[in-house]
């Protein structure tokens, strides 16, 4: 006896029979990313904020023990944000990306152009999620299909192999995605070829593949018809700014970005304020200190908060949540060149970002101090965006040196094993092939 | 632009559950049915249960509708006894007593070790077992909860290595006793309810000290100096650094000190009424004055708010006194 599906749902097979529904299956992912309060939404549970607390970027004012554990670098394997925001959400998007990949391959009735676009986008999203998983947890299960029966017993794959898959996915995405924004109505809200290139440059940098990182970054920096640094710091985070490579469009009615409504304070913070260590890291005369940071005085306390996004709530929507932007590419190329001892060009790229912020040229001349200067520049340019600080500290080998004093300043202590988050307990219970990270 | 989101995984192979029931009953009456005894013994075996089979979220979802290969047995004994103790011209007394003794058992589960229930259920034991860390007291030297290190690796917080199924959350037996007395116009009903069971106690919902929540008075007896013998861990502000915080969290989620006896006897209902004798000429058909008390008395050793709904901070059933006058015209 066959029964029709409910009126409000579609069977998978019928989703991938038209361009419109297949595209909806893909863009649904971006909508979920912005509706959630975790992963990459910019809201209180987003991994940029969780890792910001774990490092030296954010101070915690929430009494919620699950958030305090991140701030104190004392994560317990049963932490709810660890499970939902850091682990389950990206794997849910990986499932959906795999479903789109399988669906457009098997489905008929989708035009070739849309098929190519969706394949590229799904590969990009899969690579993007895997990037965050491998940088938060280390070795993670690599899921390449929707076959749940096999995936339920997946073991952790070595980080190198995960990175290899990320690179392969991004290269295929580059071939499939178009260089313009024609398929997203001219808005920079869906990943295009530029987004794949930008993430690939970052991945090569993390893999210490300096030559390829510089090549990819140059591809974007040289593309002046599409991507340029905004000269006005207050314009960087606007919707479809010249500097944006990929942004996520807000979906909450009556609000702009989640970051705006979360960070901008009108009273004592309920969640986060900037770590005083970051405030003192700004050089004198750095325009970002006045344009991207604001403060609120309550009684005898001053609370500093991020002011990259300037709209707390209201319409119309003028700001989109930034995922990838051009400034990072300059810093990637600077670091890649410095590592290859091309110190003059490295300093030039670094100075482009510094002069945009009203700072004089860097005084670093040798490789070691230039690399430290680039790490410092990343700290004050990319703060509260996409977990850059937390990942930078670890991949450059600087995490113990910075976190030992920083953790004490936060009222806790630092063990070197804290640089990797624990695998959620619930997952190990349900998939006994998973092993736990050291120190947990 | 509208989006689509997947809602569930596909399983084309699921089917109905089956339950096989076996029941034997015996109804006996003695002394012209002044003593009525009902005995009932049942044994139900259910298999192919249709459940939301738990999946790790690396699959993209946390469950799928599927059938379990488990065979679960629910068996038990039910007794009901109704007696007319005294039947006189003025005074009568009747009683009613019922008792249920349930048993539950997981008879079989092929390949449980590779299923998501490997660390939750054990074949040959009831489903009500709780895999927990076995609590071995608060260390008098450090003030920290300690647990049994089953796998002898130096850490007593290994999941699943240190888990044991020593305790369960289940009812051993339960029932009620009702007595009814009547003397001329007076009537008195007394109903007692009793349950012998184990349940989650206060420690399972123990609010983190320092948050804006009330605490039970047991925290006054917490560990404070080396040498203190107590069952409540030390308070500390070194959250996260010392093992106190982590041990407290693990105790709250995995410790078996949060499971204890939750048996109770409760005077559930007492109802006293007096039907006023009226003459035949009265316009009023009936007039009755009554007084009712509910949940007046609970006898228990349970640590928590309510042994019947245990663990969390639910208010127990309230003591209610009702009085009234009923007049029928």
Interface list for chain B against chain A, based on CB atoms closer than 8 Å: 1-7, 9-10, 54-62, 64, 113-114, 116, 118-120, 159-160, 208, 211-212, 239-241, 245-246, 249-250, 253
Q: Where are the alpha helices (DSSP H) in A340-366?
A: 343-356
Residue whose C-alpha is closest to residue A98's, from A119, A117, A128:
A119
Contact B116 A429 (CB under 8 A): yes
Q: What is the spatial distance between Cα B67 and Cα B53, in angstroms, rounded to a whole number?
A: 8
Cβ atoms of B177 and B97 within 8 Å: the answer is yes
How far apart are the CA of A154 and the nearest CA of chain B, in angstroms? 8
Is the pLDDT confidence value at B8 over 60? yes
- B30 forms bridges with which residues in the sheet? B35
How far apart are the CA of A233 and the nearest CA of chain B, in angstroms? 30
Question: Any idea which residue has 């034991």 for tokens?
Answer: B125
Q: Which residues of B81-115 are buried (b: 16+ CB within 10 A; e: fewer)?
A: bbbbeeeeeeeebbeebeebbbebbbeebeebeeb
Give me the DSSP letters along A240-279. T-TTEEEEE---STT-S-HHHHHH--SSS-SSEEE-HHHH
Contact A72 B239 (CB under 8 A): yes
Residues contacting B271, CB < 8 A, separation 6+: B187, B188, B189, B290, B291, B292, B293
Residues contacting A333, CB < 8 A, separation 6+: A201, A213, A214, A217, A218, A221, A346, A349
Smallest Cβ distance to B60: which of A91, A427, A434? A91
Q: Residue B13: its pLDDT value, please? A: 84
Q: Which residues of A243-278 are buried (b: 16+ CB within 10 A; e: fewer)?
A: bbbbbbbbbeeebbbbbbbbbbbeeebebbbbbebb
Which of B210, B240, B245 is the best mutation test for A, with the most CBs of A within 10 A? B240
The enclosing H or E element of B320 equals strand B320-328
The enclosing H or E element of B86 equals strand B71-87
Q: Which residues of A touch B239 (CB under 8 A)?
A: 68, 72, 74, 412
Cβ atoms of B137 and B247 within 8 Å: the answer is no
Q: Could you tell me how many residues make up chain B?
A: 329
Q: What is the spatial distance between Cα B244 and Cα B257, in angstroms, rounded to a whole number?
A: 16
Does this model's pTM top 0.90? My answer is no
Cβ atoms of B284 and B328 within 8 Å: the answer is yes
Measured CA to CA in angstroms, residue A62 lies from B196, B211, B242 at distances of 42, 11, 21
Question: Any idea which residue has 């007794």 for tokens?
Answer: B79
Smallest Cβ distance to A31: which of B3, B10, B58? B3
For residue B254, give the chain A residue with the closest CA: A78
Residue whose C-alpha is closest to residue A44's, from A273, A243, A234, A256:
A273
**What mean pLDDT is reported for chain B?**
88
Is the pLDDT confidence value at B240 over 60? no
Confidence band for B2, pLDDT divided at 50, 70 and 90: confident
Q: What is the spatial distance between Cα A113 and Cα A99, in angstroms, rounded to a whole number?
A: 18
Contact A412 B241 (CB under 8 A): yes
Measured CA to CA in angstroms, residue A264 lies from A46, A351, A357, B220 at distances of 16, 30, 22, 41
For residue B240, give the chain A residue with the closest CA: A74
Q: Residue B306: its pLDDT value, please? A: 87
**B298 three-state secondary structure:** strand
| Strand duo B171-183 + B186-200: pairing | antiparallel
Region label for A109, one of left (φ > 0), alpha (ψ between -120 and 50) or beta (otherwise): left
Residue whose C-alpha is closest to residue B96's, from B113, B116, B84, B81:
B81
Which of A429, A431, A436, A437 is the best mutation test for B, with the most CBs of B within 10 A? A429
For residue A13, give the chain B residue with the closest CA: B10
Measured CA to CA in angstroms, residue B234 lies from B158, B169, B238, B249, B250 at distances of 22, 27, 11, 13, 15
Q: What is the pLDDT of residues A15-41, one digit of tens each?
A: 888 999 999 999 999 999 999 999 999
Smallest Cβ distance to B159: which of A72, A143, A425? A425
Q: Which residues of A touch B253 (CB under 8 A)?
A: 78
Number of A to B CB contacts under 8 A, please give it. Answer: 116
Q: What is the spatial distance between Cα A388 and Cα A395, in angstroms, rounded to a whole number?
A: 10
Q: What is the pLDDT of residues A372-396, one digit of tens each?
A: 999 999 999 999 999 999 999 999 9
Is the pLDDT confidence value at B239 over 70? no
User: Is residue A148 less than 8 Å (CB to CB) from chain B?
Assistant: yes
Q: What is the spatial distance between Cα B11 and Cα B22, in angstroms, rounded to a whole number?
A: 32
Least confident of A320-324, B188-192, B219-223: B219-223
For residue B245, give the chain A residue with the closest CA: A74
Residue whose C-alpha is closest to residue B134's, from B124, B149, B144:
B149
Least confident of A323-327, B36-40, B79-83, B111-115: B111-115
Cα three-residue angle A190-A195-A198, rounded to 5 degrees:
160
Interface list for A 22-61 with B (CB within 8 A): 23-25, 27-32
Contact A428 B159 (CB under 8 A): yes
* Residue B258 Cα to chain centre, angstroms: 14
The structure tokens listed for A426 are 């619930």
The structure tokens listed for A216 are 């990819």
Least confident of B34-38, B202-206, B274-278: B202-206
Contact B57 A427 (CB under 8 A): yes
Residue whose C-alpha is closest to residue B136's, from B231, B221, B219:
B231
Contact A146 B240 (CB under 8 A): no
User: Is residue A12 less than 8 Å (CB to CB) from chain B?
Assistant: yes
Cβ atoms of B70 and B108 within 8 Å: the answer is yes
Contact B59 A91 (CB under 8 A): yes
Smallest Cβ distance to A28: which of B3, B208, B245? B3
Q: What is the spatial distance between Cα B178 and Cα B96, in angstroms, rounded to a whole number?
A: 5
ipTM for this prediction: 0.85
Q: What is the spatial distance between Cα A236 and Cα A325, in angstroms, rounded to a whole number?
A: 9
How far apart are the CA of B229 and the nearest CA of chain A, in angstroms? 27
Measured CA to CA in angstroms, residue B303 lies from B188, B217, B220, B261, B263 at distances of 33, 11, 15, 9, 11
- B188 forms bridges with which residues in the sheet? B181, B272
Q: What is the spatial distance between Cα A288 and Cα A198, in angstroms, rounded to a whole number?
A: 23
Which of A15, A19, A65, A86 is the best mutation test for B, with the most CBs of B within 10 A? A65
Q: What is the pLDDT of residues B253-294, one digit of tens each?
A: 888 888 989 999 999 999 999 998 887 767 888 899 999 999
Q: What is the spatial distance between Cα A229 and Cα A243, in angstroms, rounded to a whole number?
A: 5
Q: Which residues of A touch B59 (CB under 8 A)?
A: 91, 95, 143, 148, 151-152
How far apart are the CA of B275 and the nearest CA of chain A, in angstroms? 59
The structure tokens listed for B200 are 């989650």
- B293 forms bridges with which residues in the sheet? B270, B321
Is the pLDDT confidence value at B238 over 70? no
Is the pLDDT confidence value at B85 over 60? yes
Residues contacting B115, CB < 8 A, separation 6+: B109
Q: Which residues of B touch A121 (CB under 8 A)?
A: none
> Which residues in chain A land under pLDDT 50?
none
Q: Residue A217: its pLDDT value, please? A: 96
Q: Which residues of B touch A72 (CB under 8 A)?
A: 239-241
How far apart are the CA of B192 and the nearest CA of chain A, in angstroms? 42
User: Is residue A431 less than 8 Å (CB to CB) from chain B?
Assistant: yes
- φ, ψ of residue B176 in degrees (nearest 5): -150, 160
Q: What is the spatial distance between Cα B86 and Cα B182, in angstroms, rounded to a whole number?
A: 10
- The average pLDDT across B161-190 equals 92
């Amino acid at each position: 006896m066959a029964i029709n599906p409910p009126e409000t749902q579609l069977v998978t097979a019928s989703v991938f029979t038209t361009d419109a529904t297949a595209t909806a299956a893909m863009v649904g992912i971006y909508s979920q990313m912005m509706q959630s309060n975790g992963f990459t939404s910019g809201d209180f549970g987003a991994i940029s904020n969780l890792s910001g607390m774990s490092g030296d970027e954010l101070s915690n004012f929430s009494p919620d023990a699950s958030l305090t554990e991140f701030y104190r670098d004392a994560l317990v394997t049963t932490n709810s944000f660890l499970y939902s925001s850091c682990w389950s959400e990206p794997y849910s998007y990986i499932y959906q990306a795999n479903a789109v990949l399988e669906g457009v391959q098997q489905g008929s009735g989708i035009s070739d152009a849309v098929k190519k676009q969706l394949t590229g986008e799904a590969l990009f999203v899969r690579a993007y999620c895997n990037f965050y998983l491998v940088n938060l947890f280390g070795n993670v299960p690599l899921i390449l299909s929707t076959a749940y029966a096999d995936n339920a017993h997946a073991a952790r794959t070595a980080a190198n192999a995960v990175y290899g898959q990320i690179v392969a996915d991004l290269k295929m995405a580059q071939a499939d995605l178009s260089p313009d924004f024609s398929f997203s109505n001219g808005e920079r809200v869906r990943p295009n070829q530029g987004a794949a290139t930008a993430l690939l440059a970052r991945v090569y940098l993390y893999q210490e593949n300096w030559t390829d990182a510089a090549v990819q970054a140059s591809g974007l920096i040289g593309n002046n018809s599409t991507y340029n640094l905004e000269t006005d710091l207050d314009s960087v985070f606007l919707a479809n700014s010249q500097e944006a490579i990929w942004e996520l469009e807000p979906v909450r009615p009556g609000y702009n970005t989640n970051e705006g409504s979360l960070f901008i304070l009108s009273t004592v913070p309920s969640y986060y304020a900037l770590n005083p260590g970051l405030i003192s890291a700004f050089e004198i005369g750095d325009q970002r200190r006045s344009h991207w940071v604001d403060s609120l005085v309550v009684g005898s306390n001053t609370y500093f908060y991020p002011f990259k996004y300037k709209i707390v709530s209201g319409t119309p929507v003028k700001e989109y949540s930034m995922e990838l932007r051009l400034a990072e590419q300059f810093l990637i190329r600077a670091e890649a060149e410095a590592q290859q001892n091309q110190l003059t060009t490295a300093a030039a790229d670094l100075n482009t970002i510094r002069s945009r912020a009203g700072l004089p040229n860097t005084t670093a001349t040798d490789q070691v101090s230039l690399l430290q200067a680039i790490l410092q520049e990343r700290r004050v340019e990319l703060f509260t965006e996409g977990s850059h600080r937390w990942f930078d500290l670890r991949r450059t080998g600087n995490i113990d040196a910075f976190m030992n004093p920083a953790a004490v300043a936060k009222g806790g202590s630092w063990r070197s094993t804290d640089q990797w988050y624990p695998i959620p307990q619930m997952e190990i219970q349900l998939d006994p092939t998973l092993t736990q990270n050291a120190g947990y | 632009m509208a989006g689509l989101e997947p809602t569930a995984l596909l399983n084309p192979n699921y089917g109905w559950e089956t339950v096989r029931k076996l029941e034997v009953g015996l109804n006996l009456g003695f002394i012209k049915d002044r003593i009525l005894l009902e005995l009932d013994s049942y044994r139900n075996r259910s298999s192919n249960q249709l459940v939301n089979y738990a999946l790790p979220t690396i699959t993209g979802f946390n469950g799928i509708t599927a059938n379990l290969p488990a065979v679960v047995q629910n068996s038990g004994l039910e007794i009901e006894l109704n007696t007319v103790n005294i039947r006189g011209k003025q005074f009568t007394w009747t009683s009613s007593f019922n008792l249920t003794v349930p048993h539950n058992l997981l008879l079989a589960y092929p390949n449980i070790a590779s299923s998501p229930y490997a660390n939750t259920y054990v074949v040959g034991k009831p489903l009500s077992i709780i895999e927990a860390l076995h609590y071995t007291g608060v260390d008098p030297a450090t003030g920290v909860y300690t647990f049994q290190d089953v796998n002898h690796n130096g850490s007593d917080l290994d999941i699943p290595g240190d888990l044991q199924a020593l305790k369960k959350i289940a009812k051993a037996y339960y029932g009620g006793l009702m007595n009814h007395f009547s003397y001329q116009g007076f009537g008195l009903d007394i109903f007692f309810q009793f349950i012998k069971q184990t349940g989650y106690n206060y420690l399972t919902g123990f609010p983190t000290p320092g948050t804006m929540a009330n605490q039970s008075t047991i925290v006054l007896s917490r560990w404070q100096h080396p040498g203190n013998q107590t069952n409540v861990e030390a308070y500390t502000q070194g959250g996260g650094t010392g093992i106190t915080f982590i041990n407290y969290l693990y105790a709250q989620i995995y410790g078996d000190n949060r499971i204890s006896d939750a048996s109770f006897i409760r005077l559930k209902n007492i109802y006293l009424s007096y039907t006023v004798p009226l003459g035949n000429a009265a316009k009023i058909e009936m007039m009755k004055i009554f007084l009712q008390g509910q949940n007046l008395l609970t006898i228990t050793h349970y640590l928590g708010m309510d042994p019947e709904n245990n663990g969390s901070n639910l208010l127990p059933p309230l003591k209610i006194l009702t009085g009234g006058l009923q007049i029928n015209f």
